[in-house]
A and B are shown apart, each in its own frame.
Chain A
Amino acid sequence: QSALTQPRSVSGSPGQSVTLSCTGTSTDVGGYNYVSWYQHHPGEAPKLMIYDVTKRPSGVPDRFAGSKSANTASLTISGLQAEDEADYYCCSYTGSNIGVFGTGTKVTVL
């Protein structure tokens, strides 16, 4: 199973919005509504930000929003804040296992 494709990096100024993409195939992202997103600050445990494409766990700010179109899922961060600077990974169910991750996107707050 190949890794899902994410842009290596995106950046934005505080208060702006950024959108991260996650491209797979019809056998993973496009085939199921089971895409999740994780925020990872180096040295810390990754944190679940979005699950089932659009759902936010309790405690995750509504500045984070997920969506999907065909084989591409997206994570939009609105009102960018300094603490949002981190690595972000998407992950998709593949029909047999949940475990194909994206290549990761580094978000930089300018």
Chain B
Amino acid sequence: NAGVTQTPKFQVLKTGQSMTLQCAQDMNHEYMSWYRQDPGMGLRLIHYSVGAGITDQGEVPNGYNVSRSTTEDFPLRLLSAAPSQTSVYFCASSYSRYDEQFFGPGTRLTVL
């Protein structure tokens, strides 16, 4: 099993550009989530999904969109990137919100 995979590993954007961070898992997990990690702030939840077709907002959802059309994939979209979105982004998955979350390796995003 590959576990949780994220692409790309690194990305540089200009302000106003859009992009999609990809996340996939092959563990048949229902629960998937996106976090951003900033120095001194730990991880903060952006969006999460409890199953295909169901998504909800976390602590810091503004500026990000998600969709969940399949169990395996949970892409995160930045519609108009801002410098405040410079961060490391982690995708995670688990059987349910109460179970251990398995984290991907992260995507380091810089917005100029």
Q: Do A and B bind each other?
A: no
